[in-house]
Structures are given as structure tokens and as C-alpha cells.
Structure 1
Amino acid sequence: MSKIDELVFTPKQQETITFPFRGVTLEVNEGTPRSGKTTADIFKMAYIYSISEDQNHLVAAFNQEQAFRLFMDGDGFGLMHIFGNLAEMKHDEHGDHLLIHSPNGPKKIYYKGGGKVNSVGAITGMSLGTVTFLEINLLHKDFIEECFRRTFAAKNRFHLAELNPPAPNHPVLEIFSNYEKSGRYKWRHWTAKDNPALSEERKQEIYNEVKHSSYLLQRDWYGKRVLPKGIIYETFDMQKNQIPKLEGHPIEMVFFGDGGQQDATVCECYVITEHASDGHYKYK
């Protein structure tokens, strides 16, 4: 017996899989890690692929390896296991894909990475029926926007996105807002309580691990969009940790920056000064 034969869906997963996709341009499943949303997404898309009138479809993650691991294999629950001998891995001029032999013709499910600034080149010129975004908050905005353009001519146009809760000011939320205003948008919230694979003991174990951090508790247990709060922010004293004036003779000014994955997060400025002491010079 395969892992799929033993799978039991929660009511949340059942609702996700069976929710009508016609009339919806963008469906979003947002929630905590290990909440069961990816498994539901795989089975939902498997059904859509089998009835879609479009031949070409896309699954996108930060890189191609993740797209394959999360959706094609899916830890034993992926597309290649669902379709079994009705599917085979192939490659053509558009790239690697899973070829599915469905009742209404062959379907090509391409899997690609979209996390880099030049990722958009991998889909330019393609015509797609559906796009599935895995961890859409990690994908480059240009890639995401181009994916929506690639489905303009689709007969059964549909986009499915999943993500862990991003920061409240994350750029991807602007994309969600635009489709919400169009009236063709479905958003669904998930927590660890929605995952049938987690026992009550394991859920309690996870809670005990994150409850001591306000950020982790809100993000990884309650699935809320929160800003990270590190030890620096919590212990910085505006009075004790500042000096009223620069001491010594300025020698050089140096800037450091940490760009992060999506946008600039840290910028530091250091002024190196010279001090005379006991016939020697010291630099601070």
C-alpha cells in the first residue's frame, strides 16, 4: 500500500481540493510551516490538470530543485506518485516537465525556479493554463508578474499560491490586494492544527518550542504576519547606547549593507577615529 492510499484529509484540506477554481484568478493558501497546505494544493492541481483544456502548466518555487521536491515528489504525495504510470518525466524546448496522459489529452507540467532577477527568462514566450507558486513570497516580483501574463490566453486560467506568513509590508501582499479588488480572489488561512499528519503530542511539542519567542509564536503557531524582533531591538537603549559627540580625529567612514533575499534589511555606517595615548595612536 502506498502513502497515498493511507492518506486521510482534514476538512480544511477537503474544502481546498474541492473548491471550484472557475471564476477565481488567484487562490492563496497562507499559514504556518507543516500545516498541510502543500499536500492539499498538490491534489487540487492534480484534479485541475486532469480536466483542463490547456496543455502547458507551471509549478514555480525559489529554485527548480525545490519545485520538484515539493510538488513533483512531495514526500511520496506528489504528482508523479498520484498519476503513477500515467505520467513520465520529460524534457523539451521549454524545459523539464512531467508529462501526464489525461483523459482529454497530454498535459505538460513544467517546474522551474523563480527566485532570481533573471528567472523570468525561463518562461518568456510560454503559453500557460495554470501557475502554482510555492513560497510565493520568495519569488522575484518580475517573475510573478510575468507568470500572470503567460496565462492571458488560457482556456481555464487559474493561479494557486502558497506561503508562510510574510512581514506585513512584504511586496507580494500588494499583488494579493490587486486580485482581491478584482473579485476573483480566494484566501485561506492555515495552522499546524490543520495537518492530519501531526499528532496532538507533536503539536504540543512544537508549541513548547516556539512559545518563548513572541515572533515565532505569532508566525509559526498562529500563522500571523509579524515583523521579526531580534535581541538587538529588544535590548537597545536610546540613552545608554548613544554618545553625544564624535571623539578623536576622523580618519575614514565605511558603509556595510546586508541586502537579504528580497529587499534591503540592514545598512551600517562606521567612522574610524584616531586617538593619541601614551605616545601611541589608537584607532576606534
Structure 2
Amino acid sequence: MINYAPLTERQSEYIKDTNDSWLNVLEGGKRAGKNIINLIAYSMCLEVHPDKLHLVGGVSLGSAKMNIIDSNGFGLLHLFKGRCREGEYQNRDALYIQTVTGEKVVIIAGGGKANDAARIKGNSYGSVYISEVNECHQSFVQEVFDRTLASSKRQLFFDLNPFAPSHWFYRDILDYQDELKINGENEGYNYAHFTIKDNLSISDEILKSVIKTYDKTSLWYQADILGRRVAATGRIYTGYKKQEVVIDRNYIKDNNLKFVEFSIGIDVGGTDATVATLTGFTQQYRDIIELDYYYHKQGKESGYTHDRYAKEIVDKIEEWIRTYPSFLFSTHIFCESADKLFRQALTNELRRRGINITVVPAYKKEGILDRIRLVNILINQGRYKIMRHLVNLIEAIENATWDQKEKDKGEWVRTDDGSYPVDCLDSSEYSIQPFKKRLEV
């Protein structure tokens, strides 16, 4: 028998208040249970709503199905198990539900693109539930409001993770609704804010363990854990302290550190820098040390050929072989995945010199945000170190920032405008990311 975590008093109050509210909004941090709470409330709405046609949506059709129809066993398909079926309505994906007030047709739509608004026109909807609403296109959300104007009992349900305060969803919708409510003119507006601490399915032990991996002063923690609307300004690596991260060779000697594995991450620049970073992993993968790098900043008229870069990087590798006796026992090269020709040139140069190290494409499956988060965790845990002579990498760590314009659009994007050597970050991350599981973060 499965034991489900109970709702908190505040969660129960939100669900209760949805019955008399036309606009119901759940905002907050990641893993706060917002989606599950809204699903419970929305299923209660559908059960007794007088209208037949309804709408659910997400940033894409697949996202809407995953978050609302299935939701890992908690979606509408499961809440109405035995009295619903999947099908189509006017060539649109839909869920047919038998309720105490008759059959309901719930159309499923994606809303991340400007032309998605056209796909929900032509119908009047009794109620709507949009998950991750602020990731949907503005025109789609506006159309959602318009398409419910003729409802017998207009009810809208939204959930969202926080974006920058200047985001259009706050500016055009929530800020206005908040103002009306403050003035006592919007009793039908039901808003609640939850964080991971409100999710009773997560034990205190797991919660404490998760929170330890975040720098509590970082924008990341403010947004994802505390669920605050923050602008992506300031440094990315806010846990970085030079006196704790930057080391010299005495650190390795004094702590009697032995390297169990080496990794080389290579970022190939077009008109920017080409960087090959050597990372060493100590016993039990406790310390991750950026030991050395090859760095060449080319310009529009001074770029090297693939063969020349391959030669100079292998020159550096031969230097590392002489410096670290165990280097060839366990070394990997992860090279920019987009440049197949350079990878081949590097492989040929290694083979020509009799160096048996395989060159593989950089691992990018989890995306750049996962790479950034991994380094942030290692810095916060005191495990990430940089040799003092790697001045460009140090500069990059100290000056890396979030791109505010992209954050206003709902994206976490690292600034890449030439104001600091971001190629060093890509290179070092390529050398670390493949070892994530061994690092046990």
C-alpha cells in the first residue's frame, strides 16, 4: 500500500479557495508540489463545472501531457481513472472525462510559440489550467484569458517558477491583480506561494542534504529554493573565495595529494580563445584541481589552422606527461563536440607521436546549466581548486555573470559578450562534467 504525504494547512486553504476564485495562481520554488496541488484543485473544478469544453496547456504539447495529463501518476488521467479516455476533439489532442455533471472535453495544447495562440481560437472554454505559465508565449496566455470570457463559471489555474520581476507575466498580469486585491477590488484572485519546505513528501533529512549543495547567498538558491523573483544580475559563482579556491604547488605537496585520474577539456574558438584545460582528480575524487592549460586568444585575422592547434596542444600534453608520472595510466580528452575536423586533427597528431589517448566529443546531454551547477556545488563544498598561474580561468570564475536580457525572457544564460574569457569555463567544464557520478555531488 502506498502512503501519500498529507497536505499542509496552507495547501488545503488554497485548494478550498479555488472554488470561489476565477484566477488561481501557485508560484514558488522547484519541487514545491505546486503542480500536484493545482491538479487536485482543478479536478474538483472539472467535476462540477457546468460547461463541457475546457483547456489545459504547457510550454509544449508534450509538456502539457507530462505535467497535467500524466504527472507521474498524479495527473488527470489517473485522478479520473476508470471514467476518462484519451482522444481528439476538432483534430486537437483531448481527454474525455465522465463527471457528476456530464461529460467534459479537456483540450490539450502547447503554448510556447507565438502561433500557438491560433490553435486555441474558435472555442470558448469553461476553465483552463496552464502549467509553467510564464514560460508560455505572451500571445497564448492572453488568448487563454479571452477564450474564457463567456464561461458559465470562469476559472483559470496557473503555476509557475519565479522569473525576474520585470517579466511580462508579472508586469501585465500578476502585478495588476495584486494591486486590485490590495485595494479590495479582486476577491476572486487566489494566490499562494510555496517552496520545497512545504512539500511533506520530502523528508527533513533529504531536504537538509539538498539545501547543503546550494550557496544560500546565490541567485540560484533565491530563485529555485526560496522561490523569489530575482533578476539574474551579479556573479554566477557567488560561493567563490579566492583564498579558498586558488592554490599553488605547495597545496598539493603539503596535503600529500595523489592523482587517480586526469581529464583534458578542449574548447575550440572561432575568433575567440582556444583552450585546453588539464584537470586532476585526487584520491576518492575528493579534490578537483585545475592544474594547467593551453590558452591562445586568436582574433579575426590571427586564427590558427586545426593542424597548428593540434600540434601546440599535443606539445602541452607531452609537457604534462613529463610532469605527472601517472598521466598516461588514466587520461581522457573531451573536445568541443561541434568541431569534428579539429578532433580528427588532434587524434592524428596524438597517433603520430605515439600517445594513446582517445579524443571524444564533449558531453553536453545535460546542458550548460547542469555544468554550471556542478562547478558551483564543488566550489561550495570546498573541493574545486585552481592553480594560481591560470589567470584567465581565475578571471572567468570571478567575472562570470547571468545575461539579464535572457533571464527576462525566462532563460538562465551565461553572459558571453567578450567581457571575460568564458571559453576557459567551457573548457574546464568539459573536463569535469563526465565525472559527475563519481564526484557524488
- TM-superposition CA deviations, 1:75-100 (whole Å, max 9, x none): 11111111111111011215111110
1:120/1:143 contact within 8 Å kept:
yes
Correspondence 1:41-52 to 2 at 5 A: 41-52=38-49
Counterpart CA distance in 1 for 2:416 and 2:203 is 43
Q: Report the counterpart of residue 26 of structure 2 in structure 1.
A: 29
Q: Report the counterpart of residue 203 of structure 1 in structure 2.
A: 207
Counterpart CA distance in 2 for 1:46 and 1:13 is 15
Q: Report the counterpart of residue 319 of structure 2 in structure 1.
A: none
- The SS at the match of 1:19 is helix
Alignment partner of 1:117 is 2:114: yes
- TM-superposition CA deviations, 1:237-273 (whole Å, max 9, x none): xxxxxxxxxxxxxx99xxxx99848389879599xxx
Correspondence 1:202-241 to 2 at 5 A: 202-211=206-215, 214-229=218-233, 231=235
Q: Report the counterpart of residue 75 of structure 1 in structure 2.
A: 72
Correspondence 1:32-181 to 2 at 5 A: 32-174=29-171, 175-180=173-178, 181=180
1:210/1:220 contact within 8 Å kept:
no
Indicate the structure with greater helix content: 2
2:53/2:106 contact within 8 Å kept:
yes
- TM-superposition CA deviations, 1:69-126 (whole Å, max 9, x none): 1111111111111111111101121511111001111001111110111111110111
Counterpart CA distance in 2 for 1:263 and 1:160 is 20
Counterpart CA distance in 1 for 2:236 and 2:162 is 23
Q: CA deviation at 1:29?
A: 0.6
Counterpart CA distance in 1 for 2:170 and 2:164 is 9
- The SS at the match of 1:153 is coil
Q: Report the counterpart of residue 11 of structure 1 in structure 2.
A: 9
Greater displacement, 184-193 / 83-92: 184-193
Q: Report the counterpart of residue 271 of structure 2 in structure 1.
A: none
TM-score of the aligned structures, taking structure 2 as reference length: 0.52
Structure 1 residue runs without a partner (length 5+): 236-250, 271-284
2:162/2:228 contact within 8 Å kept:
yes
Letter in 1 for 2:138: K
2:135/2:410 contact within 8 Å kept:
no
- TM-superposition CA deviations, 1:14-46 (whole Å, max 9, x none): 222222433x33111100010111111001000
Greater displacement, 223-232 / 196-205: 223-232
Structure 2 residue runs without a partner (length 5+): 241-299, 302-402, 420-441
Q: Report the counterpart of residue 190 of structure 2 in structure 1.
A: 186
Counterpart CA distance in 2 for 1:171 and 1:114 is 15
Counterpart CA distance in 2 for 1:233 and 1:39 is 33
| CA distance 1:267–1:126, change in 2 (3 Å) | farther
| CA distance 1:16–1:114, change in 2 (3 Å) | same
| CA distance 1:170–1:67, change in 2 (3 Å) | same
Moved over 4 A (4+): 232-235, 257-261, 263-270
Q: CA deviation at 1:230?
A: 5.5
Greater displacement, 121-130 / 181-190: 181-190
1:132/1:159 contact within 8 Å kept:
yes
- The SS at the match of 1:73 is helix
| CA distance 1:13–1:222, change in 2 (3 Å) | same
Counterpart CA distance in 2 for 1:222 and 1:9 is 19
Counterpart CA distance in 1 for 2:225 and 2:237 is 22
- TM-superposition CA deviations, 1:187-236 (whole Å, max 9, x none): 2110111111111011112211123551122112221111124547989x
Q: Percent identity?
A: 30
| CA distance 1:162–1:148, change in 2 (3 Å) | same
TM-score of the aligned structures, taking structure 1 as reference length: 0.79
Counterpart CA distance in 2 for 1:84 and 1:232 is 45
1:60/1:113 contact within 8 Å kept:
yes
More RCO (CA 8 Å, sep 6+): 1
Counterpart CA distance in 1 for 2:18 and 2:62 is 30
Q: CA deviation at 1:139?
A: 0.7
1:94/1:126 contact within 8 Å kept:
no
| CA distance 1:96–1:232, change in 2 (3 Å) | closer
| CA distance 1:210–1:131, change in 2 (3 Å) | same
Q: Report the counterpart of residue 243 of structure 2 in structure 1.
A: none
Indicate the structure with greater strand content: 1
